[in-house]
C-alpha cells in the first residue's frame, strides 16, 4: 500500500535551515536553531544560583520591547540577571584584593 503523508517539519526562523532542536522566543514564539539562538536570543536564568528549565529566552526585538513595556516576567528575569552580575562583581573584587594581599606577602618574604 502506498500512502502520501504530509510531514510537518520545523525550520529555523532566522537562517531557514532544518535543525535537530530549536529554542523558542518566550514572547513571540519564533523558533531558532542552536547557532542562531546563540547570537539572536537573550537568555535569562530563572534563579541567581541555578539555571535550567524555567530559564527565559527572548529574541532581541522582544527583549527590547519588553524592557520598555514593563512586562512583569521579563522584569523579574532582569532582576535576577542584575543580582547574578552583582555577585560576580563581588567575586572579581574579592579576587583582586586576594591577589594583591598575596603578592604583598610574597614581596615581603623575598
Ligand atoms: Zn538558524
Ligand atoms: Zn520574540
* Ligand 1 center from residue 94 Cα (angstroms): 40
Question: What are the phi and psi torsion angles at 55 (to 5°)?
Answer: -70, 155
State residue 52's pLDDT score. Answer: 92
* Ligand 2 center from residue 70 Cα (angstroms): 16
DSSP letter for each residue of 19-86: -S-EEE-TTT--EEEHHHHHHHEEEE-SSSS--STT-EEEEHHHHHHHHHHT-HHHHHHHHHHHHHHH
| Residue in this structure with the C-alpha cell 526562523, named with its chain if needed | 13
Q: What is the model's pTM?
A: 0.78
Point out the ligand nearest to the CA of residue 26. Answer: 2
Write the pLDDT tens digit of every residue in 56-109: 999 999 999 999 999 999 999 999 999 999 999 999 999 999 999 999 999 997
Write the pLDDT tens digit of every residue in 12-66: 999 999 999 999 999 999 999 999 999 999 999 999 999 999 999 999 999 999 9
Judged against a pLDDT cut of 90, whether residue 110 lies above it is answered with no
State residue 87's pLDDT score. Answer: 96
* Ligand 1 center from residue 61 Cα (angstroms): 16
What is the DSSP secondary structure assignment for residue 102, as one 8-state letter? H
State residue 32's pLDDT score. Answer: 97
* Ligand 2 center from residue 40 Cα (angstroms): 10
State residue 109's pLDDT score. Answer: 76
* Ligand 2 center from residue 59 Cα (angstroms): 4
Distance CA 78, CA 42 (A): 11
Amino acid at each position: 500500500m502506498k500512502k502520501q503523508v504530509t510531514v510537518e517539519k520545523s525550520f529555523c526562523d532566522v537562517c531557514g535551515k532544518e535543525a535537530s532542536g530549536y529554542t523558542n522566543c518566550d514572547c513571540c514564539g519564533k523558533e531558532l536553531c542552536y547557532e542562531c539562538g546563540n547570537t539572536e536570543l537573550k537568555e535569562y536564568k530563572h534563579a541567581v544560583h541555578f539555571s535550567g528549565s524555567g530559564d527565559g529566552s527572548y529574541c532581541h526585538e522582544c527583549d527590547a520591547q519588553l524592557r520598555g513595556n514593563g512586562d512583569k516576567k521579563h522584569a523579574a528575569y532582569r532582576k535576577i540577571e542584575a543580582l547574578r552580575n552583582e555577585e560576580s562583581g563581588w567575586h572579581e573584587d574579592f579576587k583582586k584584593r586576594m591577589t594583591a594581599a598575596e603578592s604583598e606577602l610574597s614581596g615581603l618574604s623575598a
